[in-house]
Amino acid sequence: MSAYVEIPRPYESAPGRFTVDLAFPAASKRRAKEHHDVAWTLADVHGVEASTPFKLNPRWSLYKEISGTDEKYGGLDDRRLTVQGGARELSRYLGALVRVLDEVEALATRAVRVFGVWKRSVAAEPFLEYEDASTMRVRSREFRADVLRVLVEGLGARRRPVGERDSSRALWEQQGAVAEEVQTAVGGVDLEWADEDSVAVQEARMVPAAVAEAERLVVAEAARVEAERLEEERVERFRGAAERVSRAQEFANPTRWLRLSPSRFLGGLAHFYDETDVL
């Protein structure tokens, strides 16, 4: 699996048609949006349908809407994507998605290395006069995010080449040129190819509707049996506690114990203290 997308087991939503609900767990919302856009672009390439689910805003209220705040009722959730298609098409799509996300992220990392080489070069000295280590860390982070955005926007699109780098400008202003440079170095990103082993693994994970329903019934039955067992244990504990309380109340009745012989009285007293220790 990939660190950039969570792929739960696809399920059969209609005869011969499967659905998978993808999630993009990147810590940065902007980065998760880029991964979402990669998955969206690949859907057209592999002949599957993609839709972004709607997400309610937990901070929204009717009062806030009436009072004119910026809180919206909800919006599209860019951290998720629902994809539907045939078993074979969806399997190829998922196999390609993991590879493409890994390759695009690797290209963005390669671009950051290019940026690191540039900032240590003589050509960068005129642009670093007012920069320090803190600002350069921010520059590097923003540069990677911008390059990733350019790479994602360029997937599957025929764009005019940006051209070579301009030595009269800072490199953090030339994300497009660096993105083209790293892509050319590796030969670009193939959106269609998918490893057959990965495709077979994804296809084997697909669950027919009958199997999914059977699994649901098994889980429900196991939960019912466990609930009954816990209820029986609870009733047994309360019954034992009630018996011990009853025996304690009997001992508290002096007229009953005065009629017993000393040996039986002492035995009952010892038994009472044993029971109260348990309580």
pLDDT per residue over 254-271, tens digit each?
555 555 555 555 555 555
Is residue 81 classed exposed, middle or buried when 0-12, 13-18 and 19+ CB atoms within 10 A define those classes? buried
Whether residue 90 sits in one domain with residue 154: yes
Taking each helix axis as running N to C, give the angle between helix 29-46 and helix 87-119, from 0 to 180 degrees, rounded to the nearest 10.
130
Res. 199: pLDDT tops 50: yes
Whether residue 182 sits in one domain with residue 236: no
Q: Which amino acid is at 232?
A: E
pLDDT per residue over 139-157, tens digit each?
999 999 999 999 998 887 6
As a whole number, mean pLDDT of residues 117-138 equals 91
Domain count within the chain: 2
Residue 65 placed within a domain: yes
Q: Residue 60: which domain range?
A: 11-207
* Alpha-carbon gap, residue 100 to 152, rounded angstroms: 10
Res. 204: pLDDT tops 90: no
DSSP 231-270: HHHHHHHHHHHHHHHHHHHHHT-HHHHHTS-HHHHHHHHH
Residue 117 placed within a domain: yes
Whether residue 175 sits in one domain with residue 268: no
Choose among 96, 124, 104: nearest CA to 179: 104
Whether residue 147 sits in one domain with residue 107: yes
Residue 3 placed within a domain: no
Percent share of the chain, pLDDT over 90: 44
Neighbours of 174 (CB within 10 A): 23
User: Does residue 28 contact residue 57 with C-beta atoms inside 8 Å?
Assistant: no
Residue 1 placed within a domain: no
Whether residue 23 sits in one domain with residue 156: yes
- Higher per-residue confidence, 241 vs 142: 142
Whether residue 136 sits in one domain with residue 25: yes
Whether residue 269 sits in one domain with residue 154: no
